[in-house]
A and B are shown apart, each in its own frame.
Chain A
Amino acid sequence: MTDVYGPVSDWENDFDHAVPEYNERAHDIWAEFQASGCPVAHSDRYGGLWAPFTHELVHEIAYDTDHFTSQGVVVNTGRPLIEAPVGPAPPITSDPPFHNIARRLLLPPFSPKVIAAWEPEVRRLCRELLDRMGEITPGESVVDAAVQYAQSIPVNVIARMLGFPTEDEELFRGFVHDVLERINEPVEARLEFMQRLDDYLTEQIEEHRANPRDDLTSYLLGVEIEGQKLSIEHVRGSIVLLLVAGIDTTWSAIGSSIWHLGTHPDDLQRLVDDPEVMLFALEEFLRAYAPVTMARLVREDHDFHGCPMKANDWVLLPFPAANRDPAQFDRATEFVIDRQENRHGAFGLGIHRCLGSNLARLELKVAVEEFVARFPAFTVDGEVTWSVGQIRGPRRLPVRVDAIA
């Protein structure tokens, strides 16, 4: 694969979040920017990129839909081909006022009470994945909590919700990897793999048209805006959103949470002894290890606190960095398992709050509960590798099982 940019030596002026070092050292890099007095990185890469690292600046941009458009939300070498206010993957790529129309179609199937009904299914899936790990010898067996566990949970759930074949799991992870991690490849390469994704989805949509059933794909084909069915581009774009946003993100959150417990035995013991603490621990996992950095495009040339932003520059919204900003949180860089006041922005802020947040929370909670219930003692043991790009989480997570329940 061709990375058109190469390594970074100057984080302030030649910033790039797609070099492997960024996610490996993210917590240190954010802390350095927050303490530096110059909390905005810049780069000429990707046709112009800005990255603010304080809670205050991230929030300001998240709420400012006038100067910043959501038409593109994943920084890459190209620019989105479908224009605002709809954008290529509505509603995440949509701007007001269309955004609200597209979003309201999808809110009910992801509302808290509808999602809560999925709990037994998610629990069953987690237990099945743990069973599939086979014979475990405490103190000796090493399992990969990312590959054998975390990565399979969200992909299975979203495939079922969309009514796609769950045996295409590997294919979906490939699509997500293409969209979210291969961001520094030439535009032509990106167009080629985006076309593969479009072709697959078109096939699934046609199959649903022929055989409508009770799933999200059929739902999107059936709903109307002001008496009009959605265009094929809108349906496909919303499915891209659900598929891409629903897989890597939660997989990363589950992996990072297990990584934390496998490197902080006191917190693991607390969860084992006091499962009720999960009400707060869940939000602290989300705050301290928020997986998702969003992005915007600058609408027109704009002076942002002295940063000369140009139309069509990318701007990253590193919510994970904002969540660890000492100006906003007490003991910001520490994991406080029962933190009582926790206004984290792991799911974003403002009108683009993650549509799937209730599902993500359910999957993260159940996945951690089931892992800890099966393995009440475990230790990260071996080389951990991290994703690259806007979604941060472990992709290889060797864990030595020290006890089984």
Chain B
Amino acid sequence: MRVTVDSDKCQGHNRCFALAPELFDVDEYGTAVVIGDGTVAADLEDKARLAVANCPEFAIGIED
């Protein structure tokens, strides 16, 4: 599993960083970025899904 952030959609709500700081970081403008290449370790898959389900801008995606 890999997570992605669409930086055109991200408005800096900071929900993904709050829920899954192992997978997402934020830059100095508060825009979300994935950590590394976005690969999700098996024990973090639930957190990845949580981040998707809480992004108000639908900016986060999951690729299997």
Contacts and interface: CB of A to CB of B under 8 A. Distances in A.
Give the top 3 A-B pairs by smallest Cβ distance, nearest first: A353-B11, A341-B53, A107-B29
Interface residues of A, number: 23
B54 A112 contact: no
Interface in B21-41: 26-30
B55 A349 contact: no
B17 A112 contact: yes
Given A112-B17, A113-B26, A353 B54 contact: no
A279 interface: yes
B53 A353 contact: no
A387 B19 CA distance: 32
Interface string B50-64: 100111111000000
A22 B47 CA distance: 39
Interface of B: 11-15, 17-19, 26-30, 50, 53-58
Given A340-B50, A343-B55, A353 B12 contact: yes
A154 B57 CA distance: 27
Contacts of B54: 283, 341-343
A110 B14 CA distance: 12
B56 A349 contact: yes
Contacts of B12: 107, 111, 353, 357
A112 B30 contact: yes
A361 B30 CA distance: 14
Given A112-B14, A349-B11, A358 B30 contact: yes
Contacts of A113: 26
A108 B54 CA distance: 23
B3 to A, nearest CB: 16
Given A283-B15, A340-B53, 8 more contacts: A111-B26, A112-B18, A342-B54, A343-B55, A344-B56, A349-B57, A350-B11, A357-B14
A1 to B, nearest CB: 37
A351 B10 CA distance: 9
Interface string A288-305: 000000000000000000
A104 interface: yes
Contacts of B13: 347, 353, 357
A336 to B, nearest CB: 14
B25 to A, nearest CB: 9
Nearest to B32: A112
Given A341-B54, A343-B56, A344-B56, A110 B18 contact: no
A88 interface: no
Interface string A111-143: 111000000000000000000000000000000
A345 interface: yes
Interface in A304-357: 340-345, 347, 349-351, 353, 357
